[in-house]
Amino acid sequence: MNKGKVWLIGAGPGEAALITVKGLHYIQSADVIVHDRLVNPELIAQAPEHCDIINVGKERNHHPIPQEEINQILVKHALAGKQIVRLKGGDPYVFGRGGEEAETLAQQGIEFEIIPGISSAIGGLAYAGIPVTHRDYASSFHVVTGHLSQGNEPQNWRALAQLDGTLIILMGMSRLAEICQQLIQFGKPPATPAAVIMYASQPRQEMTIATLATLAAEVEHHQLHAPALIVIGNVVRLTEILAFTSTPITLSSTAVMMNPLTRQVT
C-alpha cells in the first residue's frame, strides 16, 4: 500500500476564517484530522463525512496525551495510506511541538508538508489593537515561552530585560507574577506598559492593560487565565486608538451541511 501523507497546518489564533486558503483546502479533503484543544470547532466541522477526528489536546485537569503517542498516531495512519491533517493552534512551528512531529515523520520516511498559520503571538496582539512593531515604539519583537520543559535552562530574563523591543510571552500565565518581578529586578522600568490578552481573536477575547509593576495584580483581579498572551512594551499604549471589533465571516457552508459533526458545533 502507498504511504499516506501528513499536512501540519496552522489553524491561526482562534477566529476560524483566519486559517489559510491552503489549510482549509486540505481539511476539506482529509481522511484523518488530529487536532489540539485550542483549534476552533468550526474548522473541524469542515472535514468530509468519512474523516476520522482525533482530539489529542489536553483538557484542564486531564493528562495530556504524551507527545510520543501523538507521533505514533500520525505514523500509524500514514502507514495505512491516509491523508492526515495535523491541525495546531496558531503557527505549527511556534511552540507547538510541530518541529518534533515533523522530525518523526522525516525519520520514518513519511511525506509531509507544513502549512504555516497566523501565530497568536502576532495576530492575537493585532486583534487587541497592538501592533508588534511601530516606528515610534518598537523596532523589534521577541517571542518567548514562560514554560520550559524539564531539564531546560530557565529563560534568560536578565538579557530579555535589557531589550527595548516588544516582549511577547506565551504559556506564561502560571508564572506571571514571577516573570514581571524578574524583569523589573533586571532593570526593566516598572512603568513599562504591559497587557494580558485572553482568547485573542475569539468572541470571548478579554484584555487587561496595566504596567509591568501592576499587571499580575490586575490580572488576578479580573480573573484572566490561559490561554493568554502576555505583552510588555510601549506598543501596548496603541490599543487605546487601534482596538477594533472583528466582523467574523463564516466558512463556506458546503462541507458543513454534509457533515453530521456540525450539529455539535453550533
List contacts with ligand SAH (CB under 6 A): 13-14, 38, 88-91, 94-96, 119-121, 124, 170-171, 197-202, 226-229
CA 190 to CA 214: how far, in whole Å?
A: 8
| Residue 31 annotated among the catalytic residues of the structure | no
Query: Cβ 10 to ligand SAH, closest distance in Å?
Result: 7
C-alpha cell at 137: 515604539
User: Which of the following is catalytic: 3, 5, 22, 36?
Assistant: 36
Question: Given the complex with ligand SAH, which of 17 and 31 has the nearer CB atom?
Answer: 17
Residues 6+ apart with CB under 8 A from 74: 6, 34, 84, 86, 101, 104, 105, 110
Question: Given the complex with ligand SAH, which of 46 and 120 has the nearer CB atom?
Answer: 120
C-alpha cell at 16: 476560524
Residue closest to ligand SAH, measured at CB:
90
C-alpha cell at 9: 497546518
Distance (Å) of CA 242 to CA 129, 131, 228: 4, 9, 19
| Residue 36 annotated among the catalytic residues of the structure | yes
User: Which of the following is catalytic: 3, 22, 52, 58?
Assistant: 58
Q: CB-based burial of residue 93 (10 Å sphere; 0-12 exposed, 13-18 middle, 19+ buried)? A: middle
CA 176 to CA 173: how far, in whole Å?
A: 5
Q: Which residues are catalytic?
A: 36, 58
